[in-house]
């Protein structure tokens, strides 16, 4: 119960910044609209396959915007710069609540709010602009996709948290963060759906965790995965969560010994 | 049994030293020189429950590092620290519920929401029962006199009001031990006094153990009977504040108001050091053991309207203590 209260209190803080949050949501939306425009030209008189036509491509990019807003965590700079390098970690360390979970709770309302903007926008486009989209109607698939989305957020959160914790050792982090961001955009299906990429890039995507953050939850909701495939993806997601969480604990316990609470 | 026990604690930081200029930067790409920097060196002390003690020292003396070790933020490089029966760096939730650390001008309140929301967050995080929360909050709010601002956005509060709210946020879980690092920094004198009064009352009412660091000697003079004087990571003195004066001041001050104009300065200079003088007043520093003798001599020789024998200001004594320590460091 107390967790619900803590989360609710954090929602209050986020609602105060609803407009700023909306602007942050609009930036990736512009990229999405550009990509849809590109594909509408490319697929004017043709289809990629039986399953991939303009409707499925449009749906993919709209869902990608929602997934980017709702499932992709952006805490790495907060953790690295504000908490570790500027020493704000102090105020978390003196409280009887784990840093990992309080950061998780802090991040959750942002994702919910941004994801809500995406859903509202999708409803607006479908209702008023008669946008044609393709989403599965199978309740089991929808429920499993929600579970997949929760796992996806957890993977994203863990990756970003671990990146942030690298600041215990490195003062210059921007190059590293930017590299990971670029790699994650490509291999999570952020530019082109992964199955449309060259076979080698597809193979790399499947061995990295990024595809499990956006690509799979999207195509699952589009009804492009069989139930057995969904279970397989869920198990791979759990495996990644386990690996990343183990790494997180290792980084935290090693790093906290190096923390000097500088500037505090 | 002491509530805080510090035995032979040393804290060393490893610092990278860069050679100056572009060449130094290029060299640092291949090879970096690190040196060990001892911030706290083999310090030991103990504190009994309910004590309110002052940590005094110049910048970089090791005060805040000591507080960080006591509150579990950093681990000592050597030695042992026990606080309320716990090793602080383990940061056990039960330990964290017993302590509070307040760092001057560091904000833990939500900037865009009223302080009340931050209080509620702390209530949940510390697991304070509803009934206890209400009683403690009412009491702290009335002690601080901030009933009218707890529903105002933090960004609209003055620094003094924010500091009061910060302190309340830190005390809602009724900690047994309080670490206050420069709690009055940046506040005007009126607000400093109010905060000091509050700390004093909290210590008396809850029998809380309080360690205070401050650059303002007034904080220490008004609140602390016992002081720990620290410089270059070494404890120079640990004892009653009055003891510092007795031990480190060899002089006393005579403030004399003459009925007429002051006698020739060279006559008075023979008895001590003239610190200041005007038309009919003089301040004379004399050896501690000779103060009575000099006073009676002056009373006999001159027409005196008023004469006071005073201790030198504590600030002066502490300053001279630090400069003595600095010289001994340089000569080492």
Domain ranges of chain A: 2-256
Cβ contact B106–A264 (<8 Å): yes
Put simply, the answer to whether A2 touches B124 (Cβ < 8 Å) is yes
- The helix (run of H) or strand (run of E) holding residue B80 is strand B78-83
Reply yes or no on whether the pLDDT at A180 is more than 80: yes
Classified as helix, coil or strand, B126 is helix
User: DSSP code of B73?
Assistant: S
Taking CA atoms, what residue in A is nearest to B60? A263
Q: Residue A97: what are its φ and ψ, rounded to 5°?
A: -145, 130
Closest residue of chain B to A93, computed from CA coordinates: B73
In this predicted model, what pLDDT tens digit does every residue of B7-43 receive, in sequence order?
Answer: 999 999 877 777 777 777 777 777 777 788 889 999 9
> Which tokens sit at A25?
């949501």
Is A96 close to B125, i.e. CB distance below 8 A? yes
Q: Give residue A253's pLDDT.
A: 93
Contact B96 A260 (CB under 8 A): no
Regarding whether B39 and B131 lie in a shared domain, the answer is yes
Residue percentage of chain A with pLDDT more than 90: 41
**Cβ-based contacts of A91 with chain B (< 8 Å):** 106, 108
| C-alpha distance from residue B184 to each of A108, B201, B270 (Å) | 36, 16, 43
Q: Is residue B329 part of a domain?
A: no
- Report pLDDT digits (tens) over B164-199: 898 899 999 999 999 998 888 877 788 788 888 889
| Residues B198 and B70 reside in one and the same domain | yes
The tally of domains found in chain B comes to: 2
Q: Hey, is the C-beta of B91 within 8 angstroms of any chain A C-beta?
A: yes
Q: What does the DSSP assignment read for A201-252?
A: HHHHHHHSSGGGTTHHHHHHHTT-S-HHHHHHHHHHHHHHHHHHHHHHHHHH
Q: Does residue B328 fall inside a structural domain? A: no
B180 neighbourhood in chain A, CB within 8 Å: none
CB contact under 8 Å between A95 and B100, yes or no, is no
Q: CATH no. for residue B115?
A: 3.40.50.300
What tokens appear for A203 in the block?
A: 């193979």
Q: How confident is the model at residue A28 (pLDDT cuts 50, 70, 90)?
A: confident
Chains A, B: CB contacts within 8 A come to 62
* CATH number reported for the structural domain that contains residue B278 in this entry: 3.30.70.980
- C-alpha distance from B181 to closest chain A C-alpha (Å): 10
B190, B214: one domain:
yes
Q: Which helix (H) or strand (E) holds B226?
A: strand B226-231
Smallest CA–CA separation between B126 and chain A, in Å? 6
Q: Does B68 touch chain A (CB under 8 A)?
A: yes
Residue closest to B103 by CA, chosen among A82, A81, A106, A263? A263
Percent of chain B's residues with pLDDT above 70: 97
pLDDT surpasses 50 at A135:
yes
> Same domain for B156 and B290?
no
Query: Between B73, B106, B126, which is nearest A96 by CB?
Result: B126
Please give the average per-residue pLDDT across A15-30, as a whole number.
Answer: 75
Inside any domain, residue B20: yes
Q: Are residues B235 and B255 in the same domain?
A: no
Residue contact A94–B121, C-beta within 8 A? no
pTM for the model: 0.81
Show which of B197, B212, B245 is a domain's final residue: B245
Q: Is it the case that residue A264 has pLDDT exceeding 50?
A: no
Same structural domain for residues B147 and B292?
no
Closest CA to A38 of A54, A62, A59, A27: A54
**Residue A261 near chain B (CB below 8 Å):** yes
| A16 touches B at CB < 8 Å | yes
Sign of CA dihedral B183, B187, B193, B198: negative
Shared-domain flag, residues B211 and B305: no
Q: Which of A5, A13, A257 sits opposite B110 (nearest CB)?
A: A13
pLDDT at A29 over 50: yes
Q: How many whole angstroms separate alpha carbon B97 and alpha carbon B95?
A: 5
Q: Please give the residue range of the domain that contains residue B292.
A: 250-310
Q: What is the mean pLDDT of chain B?
A: 87
Sheet holding B99-103, edge to edge: B99-103, B177-181, B209-213, B52-56, B226-231, B234-240
Q: Is residue B183 part of a domain?
A: yes
Residues of chain B contacting A2 with CB distance shorter than 8 Å: 124, 127
Which of B13, B73, B120 is the closest to A90 by Cβ? Answer: B73
Per-residue pLDDT at A50: 59
Q: Is residue B323 situated within a structural domain?
A: no
Q: How far apart are the first and last CA of chain B?
A: 38
- B232 and B294 belong to one structural domain: no
| One domain for residues B291 and B188 | no
Q: What is the per-residue burial (b if ≥16 Cβ within 10 Å, else e) of A174-183?
A: eeebeebbee
Please determine, for residue B249, whether its predicted confidence score (pLDDT) is greater than 80. Answer: no
State whether A12 and B96 contact (CB < 8 Å).
no
Flag the least confident range among A220-229, B88-97, B100-109, B201-210: B100-109
Q: Are B17 and B151 in the same domain?
A: yes
Residues B223 and B268 occupy one common structural domain = no
Evaluate whether residue B321 is within a structural domain.
no
Give the pairing of strands B234-240 and B281-287. unpaired
Structure confidence at residue A152 (pLDDT):
96
């Amino acid at each position: 119960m107390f967790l619900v209260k803590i989360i609710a209190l954090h929602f209050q803080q986020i609602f105060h910044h609803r407009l700023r949050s909306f602007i942050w949501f609009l930036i990736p939306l512009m990229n999405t609209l550009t990509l849809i425009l590109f594909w509408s030209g490319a697929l004017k008189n043709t289809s990629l396959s039986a399953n991939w036509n303009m409707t499925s491509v449009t749906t993919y990019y709209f869902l990608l915007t929602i997934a980017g807003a709702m499932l992709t965590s952006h805490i790495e700079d907060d953790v690295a710069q504000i908490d570790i390098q500027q020493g704000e970690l102090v105020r978390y360390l003196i409280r009887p609540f784990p840093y990992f979970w309080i950061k998780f709770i802090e991040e959750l309302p942002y994702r919910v709010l941004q994801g809500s903007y995406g859903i509202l926008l999708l409803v607006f486009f479908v209702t008023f602009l008669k946008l044609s989209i393709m989403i599965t109607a199978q309740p089991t698939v929808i429920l499993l996709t929600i579970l997949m989305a929760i796992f996806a957020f957890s993977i994203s959160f863990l990756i970003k948290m671990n990146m942030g914790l690298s600041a215990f050792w490195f003062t210059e982090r921007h190059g590293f963060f930017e590299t990971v961001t670029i790699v994650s955009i490509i291999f999570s299906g952020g530019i082109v759906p992964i199955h449309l990429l060259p076979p080698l890039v597809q193979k790399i995507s499947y061995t990295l965790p990024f595809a499990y953050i956006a690509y799979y939850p999207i195509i699952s909701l589009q009804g492009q995965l069989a139930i057995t495939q969904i279970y397989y993806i869920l198990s791979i997601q759990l495996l990644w969560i386990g690996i990343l969480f183990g790494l997180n604990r290792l980084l935290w316990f090693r790093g906290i010994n190096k923390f000097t609470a500088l500037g505090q | 049994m002491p509530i805080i026990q510090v035995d032979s604690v040393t804290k060393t930081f490893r610092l990278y030293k860069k050679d100056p200029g572009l060449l130094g930067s290029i060299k640092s790409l291949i090879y970096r020189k690190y040196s060990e920097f001892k911030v706290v060196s083999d310090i030991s002390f103990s504190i009994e429950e309910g004590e309110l003690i002052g940590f005094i020292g110049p910048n970089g003396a090791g005060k805040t590092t000591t507080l960080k070790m006591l509150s579990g933020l950093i681990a000592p490089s050597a030695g042992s620290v026990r606080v309320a029966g716990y090793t602080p760096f383990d940061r056990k939730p039960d330990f964290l519920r017993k302590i509070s650390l307040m760092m001057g001008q560091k904000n833990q309140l939500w900037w865009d929401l009223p302080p009340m929301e931050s209080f509620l967050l702390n209530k949940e995080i510390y697991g304070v029962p509803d009934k206890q929360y209400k009683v403690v909050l009412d009491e702290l709010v009335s002690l601080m006199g901030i009933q009218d601002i707890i529903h105002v956005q933090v960004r609209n509060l003055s620094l003094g009001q924010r500091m009061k709210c910060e302190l309340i946020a830190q005390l809602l879980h009724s900690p047994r031990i309080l670490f206050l690092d420069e709690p009055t920094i940046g506040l005007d004198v009126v607000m400093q006094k109010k905060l000091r009064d509050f700390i004093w009352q909290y210590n008396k009412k809850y029998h809380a153990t309080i360690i205070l660091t401050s650059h303002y000697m007034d904080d220490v003079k008004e609140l602390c009977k016992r002081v720990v004087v620290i410089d270059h990571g070494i404890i120079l003195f640990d004892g009653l504040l009055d003891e510092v004066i007795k031990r480190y001041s060899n002089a006393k001050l005579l403030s004399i108001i003459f009925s007429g104009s002051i006698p020739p300065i060279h006559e008075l200079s023979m008895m001590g050091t003239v610190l200041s003088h005007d038309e009919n007043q003089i301040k004379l520093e004399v050896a501690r053991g000779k103060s009575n003798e000099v006073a009676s001599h002056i009373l006999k020789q001159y027409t005196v309207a008023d004469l006071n024998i005073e201790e030198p200001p504590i600030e002066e004594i502490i300053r001279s203590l630090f400069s003595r320590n600095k010289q001994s460091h340089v000569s080492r």
